[in-house]
Structure 1
Amino acid sequence: MGNGGRADALCRAAPERPPRPPGFDGIPASSNDNWLDDPEPGPAIELDCLRHILAPALLRAAEARGREVDTGADQVLIRSGVIGEEAYLQALSFQTDLAIETFAEVSRSDCPLPDRYLSSAAQHGLLPLRQRGKLVWIVAPRGFTARRLCRMVAAYPSLCDRILLASRRNLHQFLLRQEAGDVLGRTAANALPRRFPALSAAPVADDDTSRGLRTMRRLAQTALLSAVMTLTPTIVAPDIWSSVLALWFLAFIGLRLAASLMPPRPVRRPPRIPDHGLPVYTVIAALYREASSVASLLKAIEALDYPREKLDVIIVIELDDLETRAALARLGPMPHVQVLLAPAEGPRTKPKALNCALPFARGSFTAVFDAEDCPEPGQLRAALDAFRTQGADVACAQASLCIENQSDSWLSRMFAAEYAGQFDVFLPGLASFGVPLPLGGSSNHFRTAVLREVGGWDAYNVTEDADLGFRLARFGYRSTTFASTTLEEAPARFGGWLRQRSRWMKGWMQTWSVHMRRPRQLWKDAGAKGFLTLNAIIGGNVLTALTFPVLVIDMAWRSLEGAGGGGFSAVTPLHLTTIAAGFASTIVVGLMGLARRGQLRQGWILALTPIYWACLSIAAWRALYQLLSEPYRWEKTEHGLSSQIRSAAASQTLERDEETCGAVFRPHSALKY
Structure 2
Amino acid sequence: MLRSGADDCLPEAADPVELSARIAAKLHRVPVPVDRLALDPRTGLYSAPHFQAELDRELRRPGRRDGVLAVVAVAEADTLEERFGARVRREVTERLAAVAERLGNGSDRLGRDEEGRLYVLMPGVDEETARRALTEFATTVAGTRFVVADENVRLTPAVGWLPLADADGRAVERAGDAVAEALRHGDLRPVRYEPWMRAVAPRRRARRVVRPLLLALSPLLALLIGVGVPFALYEQAYTVLGWDVASPVYWVVVAGLVLSASLILLECLFSLDAPTRPAAPAQPYPPASAVIAAYLPNEAATIVDTVESFLRLDYPNELEIVLAYNTPHALPVEDALREIARRDRRLVLLPVPGSTSKAQNVNAAVSRVRGEFVGIFDADHHPAPDAFRHAWDWLSHGYDVVQGHCVIRNGDSSWVARQVAAEFETIYAVSHPGRTRLYGFGIFGGSNGFWRTDLLARTRMHGSMLTEDIDSTLRALTEGARIATDRTLISRELAPTRLKPLWNQRSRWAQGWLQVSLRHLYRALRSPSFTRRQKTGLVVLLGWREVQPWLSLQILPILFHSAVRAGGADRIDWATPACLLAFAFTLSAGFTQTAFAGRLALPELRARRGWFWRHALISTVFYTHFKNIVARQSHLKELLGDRRWRVTPRAAAEAVGQR
TM-score by length of 1: 0.61
Select which of 326, 336, 340 maps to 2:346. Answer: 336
In the TM superposition, what whole-angstrom CA distance separates every residue of 1:61-88 from its partner, at most 9, and x where no partner exists?
Answer: xxxxxxxxxxxxxxxxxxxxxxxxxxxx
CA contact (8 A) 1:399 1:486 kept: yes
Does 2:540 align with 1:528? no
Change (3 A) 1:135 1:235: closer
Percent sequence identity over aligned pairs: 21
SS at match of 2:362: helix
Q: 1:441 to 1:573 in 2, by over 3 A?
A: farther
**1:566 Cα deviation from its structure 2 partner:** 9.2
Question: Is the CA contact (8 Å cut-off) linking 1:286 and 1:370 kept in structure 2?
Answer: yes
Query: 2: CA distance between counterparts of 1:637 and 1:132?
Result: 42
Unmatched runs of 5 consecutive residues or more in structure 2: 1-47, 49-69, 94-147, 157-174, 234-244
Distance in 2 between residues matched to 1:362 and 1:126, nearest whole Å? 19
Partner of 1:611: 622
Q: Which amino acid aligns with 2:263?
A: L
Q: Does 1:459 align with 2:463?
A: yes
Q: What is the alpha-carbon distance in structure 1 between the residues aligned to residue 203 and residue 177 of structure 2?
A: 28
How do 1:153-164 and structure 2 match up within 5 A?
Answer: none
Matched, 1:230 2:241: no
Of 235, 252, 255, the residue aligned with 2:260 is 252
* Mapped pair 1:638 → 2:629: no
Provide the C-alpha distance between the structure 1 equivalents of 2:200 and 2:573, rounded to a whole number of angstroms. 52
How far did residue 531 of structure 1 move? 3.4
Number of aligned residue pairs: give it.
485
Report the aligned-residue RMSD: 4.6
- 3-state SS of the aligned residue for 1:433? helix
Task: Name the residue aligned to 1:130.
Answer: 86
Measured at CA, do residues 188 and 361 of structure 1 come closer, stay the same or move farther in structure 2, by a change above 3 Å?
Answer: farther
Residue 285 (structure 1) aligned with residue 310 (structure 2) = no
**Residue 430 in 1 paired to residue 435 in 2?**
yes
Letter in 2 for 1:640: A
Match in the other structure for 1:474: 478
Give the equivalent residue in structure 1 for 2:303.
Answer: 294
Please give the alpha-carbon distance, in whole angstroms, between the structure 2 residues aligned to 1:335 and 1:189.
28
Partner of 1:100 in structure 2? none
C-alpha offsets along residues 273-324 of structure 1, whole Å, 9 cap, x if unaligned? 89xx3222121111112111111111111121114x6212211111415335
Q: Which has the higher contact order (CA 8 A, sep 6+)?
A: 1
Q: Secondary structure at the match of 1:312?
A: strand
1:245 and 1:485 map into 2 onto residues whose CA distance is 38
Contact 1:402 1:487 in 2 (8 A): yes
Distance 1:442 1:135 in 2: 36
- Deviation at residue 464 of structure 1 after TM alignment: 1.6
Task: Report the AA paired with residue 484 of structure 1.
Answer: L
Q: Conserved in 1, the CA contact under 8 Å of 2:261 and 2:586?
A: yes
Match of 1:624 among 622, 630, 635: 635
Shift of 1:411: 1.9
Are residues 646 and 430 of structure 1, via their aligned partners in 2, closer, same or farther at CA, if it must alter by over 3 Å? Answer: closer
Question: Could you tell me which amino acid in structure 1 is paired with residue 313 of structure 2?
Answer: L
> Given that residues 226 and 553 in structure 2 are in contact (C-alpha distance below 8 angstroms), is that contact kept between their aligned partners in structure 1?
no
Cα distance in 1 between the residues matched to 2:276 and 2:89: 61
CA distance in 1, matches of 2:308, 2:504: 28
- Give the counterpart letter for 1:398 in structure 2: Q
For 1:435 and 1:135, how far apart are their aligned partners in 2? 44
Distance 2:598 2:642 in 1: 35
Name the CA distance, whole Å, in 2 between partners of 1:495 and 1:239: 38
Conserved in 1, the CA contact under 8 Å of 2:287 and 2:372? Answer: yes
Distance 1:395 1:385 in 2: 11
Structure 2 matches for 1:134-283, cutoff 5 A?
A: 186-187=182-183, 189=185, 191-194=187-190, 212=204, 228-236=225-233, 237-262=245-270, 263-265=272-274, 267-271=276-280, 277-283=284-290
Query: Judging changes above 3 Å, is the alpha-carbon distance between structure 1 residues 518 and 165 closer, same or farther for their aligned structure 2 residues?
Result: closer
Q: From the superposition, tell whether residues 470 and 238 of structure 1 become closer, same or farther in structure 2 (CA, over 3 Å).
A: farther
Q: Which has the higher helix share?
A: 1
Match of 1:118 among 49, 66, 74: 74
Q: Distance in 1 between matches of 2:198 and 2:262?
A: 43
Q: Label 1:135 to 1:382 Cα distance change in 2 as closer, same or farther (>3 A).
A: closer
State whether structure 2 residue 360 is matched by structure 1 residue 352.
Answer: yes
Please name the residue that 1:509 is paired with: 514
Aligned match of 1:310: 318
What is the match of residue 375 of structure 2? Answer: 367
Equivalent position of 1:485 in the other structure: 490
Give the superposition deviation at 1:376: 0.8
- Cα 1:229–1:386 change in 2 (3 A) is same
Q: Does 1:443 align with 2:456?
A: no
**Distance in 2 between residues matched to 1:218 and 1:190, nearest whole Å:** 31
Deviations 1:146-176 (A, max 9, x none): xxxxxxxxxxxxxxxxx9999x9xx99xxxx
Deviates more, 1:552-561 or 1:310-319: 552-561
Tell me, yes or no, if the aligned pair for 2:444 and 2:470 is still in contact at 8 Å: yes
Counterpart pick for 1:494 among 482, 495, 499: 499
Q: Secondary structure at the match of 1:411?
A: helix
Cα distance change, pair 383–125 in 1 and its aligned pair in 2 (3 A): farther
Comparing 501-510 with 222-231, greater Cα deviation is found at: 222-231
Distance 2:315 2:627 in 1: 40
Q: By how many angstroms is 1:585 displaced? A: 1.9
